[in-house]
């Protein structure tokens, strides 16, 4: 029997998915059903672009609902109380100093389903995230990436 991969997530990530799921089920389904109803009222469905677009939107919503259900069913929430405040874990916001570029960067370590690089949320499974897990403030980290070796110093850890 294949073991299902657990989705490591923060409380914030779980809440965001639950909110999205609620919106999809309560609001978006109704909106699309109304679009389909209006398109049907126009008559011949064989050449009705609005009907086809609404049905495609309905399929996408149902697929997203199914995807979120699977993620939430296999979610494992990281509990800040169980992890030390002085060690980088999933849910930590880490300020690091990049030794090559001589600049600071701030990342939030999240599970792979919560990644949002535009908002500096990196996965605990990424090379940088994996190297930071377990690190303490003041510790120097080396990360092997496709672009070569990166060197960081952990400056600050926040929960």
- Taking alpha carbons only, the member of 10, 21, 154, 5 closest to residue 86 is 154
Among 9-18, 19-28, 42-51, 150-159, which range has the highest average pLDDT?
Answer: 19-28
Q: Give yes or no for residue 136 having a pLDDT over 60.
A: yes
**Residue 50: what pLDDT?**
87
Neighbours of 92 (CB within 10 A): 25
Question: What average pLDDT is seen over the chain?
Answer: 90
Least confident of 19-23, 40-44, 54-58, 85-89: 40-44
Mean pLDDT value across residues 88-116: 93
Give, in order, the Cα–Cα distances in Å from 53 to each of 31, 32, 42, 56, 101: 13, 10, 14, 5, 48
**Residue 83: what pLDDT?**
59
pLDDT bin (cut points 50, 70, 90) of residue 18 is very high
Is-above-0.75 flag for pTM? yes
Q: Give yes or no for residue 84 having a pLDDT over 60.
A: yes
**Residue 159: what pLDDT?**
82
Walk me through the domains of the chain, giving residue ranges and CATH numbers. Answer: 7-77 (1.10.287.180), 93-158 (3.10.50.30)
**Residue 47: what pLDDT?**
76
**Residue 81: what pLDDT?**
61
**Does residue 134 contact residue 84 with C-beta atoms inside 8 Å?**
no
């Amino acid at each position: 029997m294949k073991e299902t991969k657990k989705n490591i997530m923060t409380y914030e990530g779980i809440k965001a998915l639950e909110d999205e799921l609620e919106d999809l089920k309560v609001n978006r389904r109704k909106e699309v059903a109304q679009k389909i109803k209006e398109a049907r009222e126009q008559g011949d469905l064989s050449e009705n672009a609005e009907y086809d677009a609404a049905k495609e939107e309905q399929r996408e919503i149902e697929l997203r609902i199914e995807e979120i259900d699977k993620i939430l069913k296999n979610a494992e929430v990281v509990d800040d109380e169980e992890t030390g405040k002085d060690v980088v874990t999933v849910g930590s916001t880490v300020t690091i100093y990049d030794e090559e570029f001589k600049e600071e960067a701030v990342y939030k370590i999240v599970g792979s389903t919560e990644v949002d690089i535009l908002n500096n949320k990196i996965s605990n499974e990424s090379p940088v995230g994996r190297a930071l897990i377990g690190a303490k403030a003041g510790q120097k980290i080396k990360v092997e990436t496709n672009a070569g070796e990166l060197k960081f110093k952990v400056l600050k850890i926040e929960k």
